[in-house]
Structure 1
Amino acid sequence: MSSREEGMNKHKKNKNKINNDVVVDVDVGEGDVIEGVEFYSNGDFYEGEFHGGRCSGSGVYHYFESGRYEGEWVDGKYDGYGIESWARGSKYKGCYKQGLRHGFGVYKFYTGDSYAGEWCNGQSHGVGVQACSDGSCYVGEFKFGVKHGLGCYHFRNGDRYAGEYFGDKIHGFGVYHFANGHYYEGSWHEGRRQGYGMYMFRNGDGRCGEWDAGNLKLSLPPQNDAIIRTVQAARKTAENAINLPRKDDHVNKAVIAANRAATAARVAAVKAVQNQMGGKFCDIDV
């Protein structure tokens, strides 16, 4: 999902390199927080609070022609809660740490796709919900931006899978239910039936045995020990995936906190502009 983020790579260097080029015309203590405006040579500008000459507290950062961030800052970086939005319509609400999405939050893409859940160092990582504009949906674990661990996927055609993922692919033990009533319980490898498993048709007939690249290689009776063990493992794994605790409450609280932080940032931005108009600050282009 991170591949579709707009403006982040283009502006990250400027965003994290905010320096102390705000000139103050009044006496300010070293530990005081002040409101000011700072402009940058690439067309970006910041309105909000400064501490020690760097963006700290609440403020709004405007990217030239591509979007803005409204929220909390620490030492020149997004840190805390905030809202980041892009010109094409994508938006993130949630928590940040040292300039990256970290904690809980919701990212809604302009395409209609979305991710709500845990983040780590700018990537979906932990438990989350990935919903796509085509109606498909994944609820489960992520690792470094891809589906990894236990999860449930509901496909747009009505199929559904519950089980293990590895590197964004169905991999391990799991149960796959087809929209036509058929289902498979068993082992998977990179999205294909691989190893032992049982395929059941809606009329009650079945095919059991060892599978290779999605095809039945060796037919075995349902009473075979390897089949029984594999089917039991697949069912248990699917049950664990279905019962995986969701993080909806944490996400909702993060969104509420982000909305509040964005409001505070807009208030600080207004004060910064008022100070500028009142002659308290001189802006220096960076």
Structure 2
Amino acid sequence: MEAPKSHGAKLSRTPSSLLRSPTLRSSSFHSLSAIDDDEEVEKKKPHRPHPIPNPNPNPPNPNPNPHPRTLLPLLLPLPFLLLIFFLIFYLRDDSPILGNLVLASALVVLASVAARKSRSLWLRRRGGAFRRGESVQWFIGDADRALRKEKSNGRVVREGVEFYSNGDCYEGEFHRGRCNGSGVYNFFAKGKYEGDWIDGKYDGYGIESWARGSRYRGQYRQGLRHGFGVYRFYSGDSYAGEWVSGQSHGIGVQSCSDGSSYFGEFKCGVKHGLGYYHFRNGDRYCGEYFGDKIHGFGVYNFANGHCYEGSWHEGKKQGFGMYTFRNGDTRSGEWDSGILQNPLPPLDPAVQRSVQAARKAAENAIRLLRVDEQVNKAVTAANRAATAARVAAIKAVQNRIDGKFCDTNV
């Protein structure tokens, strides 16, 4: 009797390198908020309002009595006044009218200087042309960007658009220069991600799809699939269950396009632990797996009605076990690479121990708690997160059209 072989197609796994974090290319992208004419980019200074700093905000007052300083402007025209009085006395006898005109002009000049000084002192005490407490903002270059918040009625715009040097594009919410909140990341000619972001990485719930047709819906953590989710491959295969660090890990269901399916435990992306496999030809196995192969103790039921209960090694009957035919006949003993090498009676203690261990492993595999409910909740949350991401992307594009740019540094 030939050894049973595992006819299940192997589930191809997408390497975690597909999950590229856009933040690794933060130095190469060009924000749409900074796209201007090529000649103006080098000329313009930062457009954020900058108040003129005071190097010494509290300078010491060298003159504790400020009143004498107010007389300085009155003393400045003294030489001019002396000259006028000299001309008055010199021209008084010859032309009294000319002398009176010169005197009147001197008085007008003196009154004008005094009035200008008084107004300057009043404005200084009142804070200039602004009331006390109002800030004066100074701008270098174009002040249009600095006033964009006023154009948007004082509301801070969170949604923006970014292009990357490799052709990728992000549309969504930002915080402190990184993708945060909801957003859509489009991989150039490869696929896209729609969902939650934290510090530039997938984190929360979302939907990831690729150009060839594969798609994942579920939970993420730090840019990797983590939690519960469903991955459907373009070939028709799928996995629904637990994920850890981007790989199937925990309890899940693997379905293949050829009709075979596996329910049980996974480790690092492969079947490992207890599981139940239904092969495409009708065979069924319940028991232990190790490294994606039948290994340990388990029960294998063939489609033709035969059954083997016992020990396995890398997909082949190995050790003690019992093979039962459809008509009830049995062959038991010690097996080696699928061949019975040492026949023993069914009631042999070694055979009985191996058969009991195989049946117990099969029962434990069937009793594994399913995670269908957790997976369905994760898929629902992923759909909601993807919808929110699409809304944020639409707002980002609309802000771009309306001239409202997101300040990615806040």
Q: What band does the TM-score fall into relative to the shorter chain?
A: over 0.9
Alignment CA distance shift 1:33-1:101 (3 Å) = farther
Match in the other structure for 1:9: 17
- Whether 1:116 and 2:125 are equivalent positions in the alignment is no
2:301 to 155, 171, 177: 177
Alignment CA distance shift 1:282-1:104 (3 Å) = closer
Q: Which amino acid aligns with 1:155?
A: F
Q: Which amino acid aligns with 1:12?
A: R
Task: State how 1:13-162 maps to structure 2 within 5 Å.
Answer: 14=22, 16-18=24-26, 22=31, 23=33, 25=145, 26-27=148-149, 34-162=158-286
Say which structure is richer in strand.
1
- Whether 1:252 and 2:260 are equivalent positions in the alignment is no
Alignment CA distance shift 1:230-1:2 (3 Å) = closer
Alignment CA distance shift 1:164-1:15 (3 Å) = farther
Alignment CA distance shift 1:181-1:11 (3 Å) = closer
Measured in 1, the distance between the counterparts of 2:219 and 2:247 equals 12
> CA offsets, 1:23-55, max 9 Å, x none?
484459xxx771000001111100000000100
Task: State how 1:204-243 maps to structure 2 within 5 Å.
Answer: 204-243=328-367
Quote how far apart the aligned CAs of 1:5 are.
2.8
Measured in 1, the distance between the counterparts of 2:406 and 2:271 equals 49
Q: Could you tell me whether the CA contact under 8 Å between 1:16 and 1:77 is conserved in 2?
A: no
Give unpaired runs (5+ residues) of structure 2.
1-9, 35-144, 151-155
Q: TM-score, normalised by structure 2?
A: 0.65
Match in the other structure for 2:49: none
Q: Could you tell me whether the CA contact under 8 Å between 2:157 and 2:406 is conserved in 1?
A: no
- Whether 1:278 and 2:389 are equivalent positions in the alignment is no
Say which structure is richer in helix.
2
Q: Could you tell me whether the CA contact under 8 Å between 2:298 and 2:311 is conserved in 1?
A: yes
| Structure with more contact order per residue of length (Cα contacts < 8 Å, sep ≥ 6) | 1
Count of matched residue positions in the alignment of Structure 1 and Structure 2: 280
Secondary structure class of the residue paired with 1:12: coil
Which consecutive segments of 4 or more residues in structure 1 shift more than 3 A?
1-4, 13-28
Q: Which has the larger radius of gyration?
A: 2
Q: Which amino acid aligns with 2:197?
A: W
Q: Which amino acid aligns with 2:364?
A: N
Q: Could you tell me whether the CA contact under 8 Å between 2:19 and 2:224 is conserved in 1?
A: no
Q: Could you tell me whether the CA contact under 8 Å between 2:22 and 2:201 is conserved in 1?
A: no
Secondary structure class of the residue paired with 1:281: coil
Identity of matched residues, %: 70
